[in-house]
Structure 1
Amino acid sequence: MPATRPTRAEPHRAVSALPYLAHYPEALQAQVRAALARGGLAEGLRARYPEAHEVRTDRALYDYVTGLKSRYLRQSEPLSKVAYDPRLHVIRNALGTHTAVSRVQGTRLKAKREIRVASLFKEAPAAFLKMIVVHELAHLKEREHGKAFYALCTHMAPDYHQLEFDLRVWLTVAELPQR
């Protein structure tokens, strides 16, 4: 069944395909569809996450990320670059990335760590920016999304799982046509 999105003629018709929520149980997806059909989901998210952030530049993002890193991951490898990336949301639906650029310097192999965050987070609620940054920082210690990875995420942000779910709902609402 193809995905349907509300149109101007059908403002309350629910979205049948929820790409950001595809890995959640169908019962939870049905609740989101029902909330979309009723309307007011965007207002509910704004009420729940009213706090904006001031992290608008790459320098401010670098300072924000390194502040969290020094608080929770002092022993991890240093970051050489942190930046907003306007291309991220389009490519493989990535909202943030972490990379290690390796170079041979003499007889040693040096790796520079970088974190890139999708530019759409310049306008996102502060809690959602923190969730993405926590996720990417966790990859400095744990490469794979496993039990240890999510334990580290919840160490840095105790409400990590709720933030991730709400972020996915926020992205779903953001992609709906504006009425």
Structure 2
Amino acid sequence: MKYLRAYPTELQDKIRALIDQGRLGDYLAQRYGERHAIQSDKALYAYTMALKQAHLKNAPAIDKVLFDNRLDLTHRALGLHTAVSRVQGGKLKAKKEIRVAALFKDAAPQFLQMIVVHELAHLKESDHNKAFYQLCQYMLPDYHQLEFDLRVYLTWRELPDTGLLTER
């Protein structure tokens, strides 16, 4: 259970018990059975900008938001924020980008929202510090629960012979 290593043993034991009983998929389907309708980069950009406008009006502008097929669990990246600097003529131009792992095209809307909120928080706080997580909670009050449940979902995805949640 590599995604849950940082959590207390009693939480890990509860998830392990659900796995042993074959009930983890049912638990996730009950809580997060819906799928969001955001399937294009254009829709993801609009969704991200709406969240930014609602919570971070004074944050730097975002130039690009997209689903990225190259982000995956092997790189330990579910989302990525970047600042690309280029020299054009005599001027230095910086563009901010947010990339979301393509696996979230088929995820529950709460998981997509959690990832987008996480990446938006990096516009103000670059490190995963106390201020960063306070900002995440400001934008999404149940951020910590969703992060835990997302880690449970990722654990479930890697179980042998489970199939994906969308197939249930």
Q: Is TM more than 0.5 here?
A: yes
Per-residue Cα deviation, 1:112-164 (whole angstroms, up to 9, x for no partner): 00000000000000000000000000000000001110011001110000000
Q: Which runs of 5+ in 1 are unaligned?
A: 1-17
Residue of structure 2 equivalent to 1:150: 133
Residue of structure 2 equivalent to 1:119: 102
- Residue 42 in structure 1 maps to residue 25 in structure 2: yes
Structure 1 stretches of 4+ with a deviation exceeding 6 A read none
Residue of structure 2 equivalent to 1:61: 44
Q: TM-score, normalised by structure 2?
A: 0.91
Q: Counterparts of 1:37 and 1:90 in 2: how far apart (Å)?
A: 23
1:108, distance to aligned residue in structure 2 (A): 4.4
Q: Counterparts of 1:19 and 1:168 in 2: how far apart (Å)?
A: 9
Q: How does 1:60-139 map to 2 (within 5 A)?
A: 60-105=43-88, 108-139=91-122
- The answer to which of 53-62 and 88-97 deviates more is 88-97
1:34 aligned counterpart, secondary structure: helix
Per-residue Cα deviation, 1:87-124 (whole angstroms, up to 9, x for no partner): 11144210000000012345543210000000000000
Q: Counterparts of 2:27 and 2:74 in 1: how far apart (Å)?
A: 29
Q: How does 1:21-32 map to 2 (within 5 A)?
A: 21-32=4-15
1:50, distance to aligned residue in structure 2 (A): 2.6
Higher alpha-carbon Rg: 1
Report how many aligned residue pairs link the two structures: 162
Residue of structure 2 equivalent to 1:164: 147
Task: Tell me which protein shows more helix as a share of its residues.
Answer: 2
Q: Which runs of 5+ in 2 are unaligned?
A: 163-168
Q: TM-score, normalised by structure 1?
A: 0.86
**Identity across aligned pairs (percent)?**
57
1:24 aligned counterpart, secondary structure: coil
